[in-house]
Amino acid sequence: MEIMVNGFSKSIARWEIKKATELFGDLVLDARRIRSTVVAIDIRKMPKFKTERGMHVFQGYCFPVVSKKKPKKFVILLNNDMTKRETIKTLAHEMVHVRQMRLNILQGMGKKRHRWFGRIVDENEEEYHKLPWESEAMLCEEPMYQHYRQCMKKTNGPARPNHENPNQSSQRHLRAGAKLKDRRLRGL
C-alpha cells in the first residue's frame, strides 16, 4: 500500500500514523488489494458541523480520489486537534471505509445517497450512527486500536518501523491481524 502523510499533529508523529495505516491495511484488505491501494492522509484543521446536540468538529473523513467503481486511491482527512488515541481510532474508522469502497460494498451516488450491498440508502433519512457503513466502522475502532497498541508494545514501541528486515515478531502480528480480520470483518 502506498501511504502518504501530510500535515501536522501535536499528539502523534507522521511516521506513526503511517505505521498504523499499514497495520490497518493488513487488517482490512487482502494482499492483492493492499498492493494496489493508495492512501493519502492529510492532518489538518477540520470544519465544524451542526447537529441537534450542538456544534461538532469533524474528526475524520474518507473519500475516493475518483468516484468510480472499485476506487483504488483514497484521501483520509484527520482532525489535527485530537489526542493520539482519538487519532488512531479515527484512522481505524476511516480505513474501514477504505475497505468498504475498495471492495465496492459502499458506493457514493451523490446528493448524500449511497449504495450499500446494492441497496440505496439515503443519508438524510437515517441517523448517522445507524448508517450501516458507519455502525460497521464504529464497531471496528476499538479492536483495531487495541491491535495497534499490541503491535507497538511488541516492537518495544513506539519503535520506528523497519520495513527492510521484517522479523519474526512482525510475522506474528500479521497472523494476529489475519485472525482479527476473520473475526471482525468476515462476511462484510
Could you give the angle at the alpha carbon of 101 between the alpha carbons of 160 and 137, nearest 5°? 65
Contact window for Zn ion (CB under 5 A) among 21-29, 79-87, 111-119, 126-134:
126-134
Tell me which residues in 10-29 interact with Zn ion (CB under 5 A): none
Q: How many helices (H) and strands (E) does the chain have?
A: 5, 9
What are the beta bridge partners of residue 125? none
- Minimum CB distance to Zn ion smaller for 81 or for 134: 134
CA-nearest of 98, 132, 99 to 115 is 132
Count of residues of this chain found to bind Zn ion when the rule CB under 5 A is applied: 2
Q: Does residue 152 belong to the site contacting Zn ion (CB under 5 A)?
A: no
Contact window for Zn ion (CB under 5 A) among 8-16, 69-77, 128-136, 179-187:
128-136
Q: Does residue 137 belong to the site contacting Zn ion (CB under 5 A)?
A: yes
Contact window for Zn ion (CB under 5 A) among 12-20, 133-141, 155-163, 167-175:
133-141
- Minimum CB distance to Zn ion smaller for 137 or for 180: 137
Least distance from Zn ion to the Cβ atom of residue 163, Å: 29
CA distances for 113 relative to 25, 100, 131, 164, 185, angstroms: 26, 15, 11, 43, 24
Cβ–Cβ < 8 Å for 33, 181: no
| Binding region for Zn ion (CB under 5 A) | 134, 137
